[in-house]
Structure 1
Amino acid sequence: MKKAELISKLNWFYSLELNQVDLDMAQSRMLRGTYESMVFERTAWIEQEHVDNIKKEII
């Protein structure tokens, strides 16, 4: 795989993960005070780790 193609795919996954963090946090806020809110917040935290890892690879 060429470097440009790899960067393109990493950028695609990066955007997917960022969108998932935003979605999970929005759902967490909508369900504030429930167990589900905590689950979405924890999931967002895990997804943010993915974002950070992919960002390091892109850089």
Structure 2
Amino acid sequence: MSELNEKARISGQLDRQDELTLDEAFIRLMDSSADRAHPVVARLRELIGERGWTGWTRFEKREP
């Protein structure tokens, strides 16, 4: 998933995320719902975070 995020960042696709998901409250709701949807999601988010990414509904590269 981190590789896909990186490819999307390089191609500029991540810059277009706000065109589809504008509402911060909706993004927070989706992120919190994902964590409760399946136990694996929390682990995936942890691994994504270890690789320098944040979010679930809207991915962003963390500053080093």
- Does TM, normalized by the shorter one, top 0.5? no
Structure with greater helix share of residues: 1
Give me the TM-score of the superposition, normalised by structure 1: 0.29
Structure with greater strand share of residues: 2
Give me the TM-score of the superposition, normalised by structure 2: 0.28
Larger Rg: 1
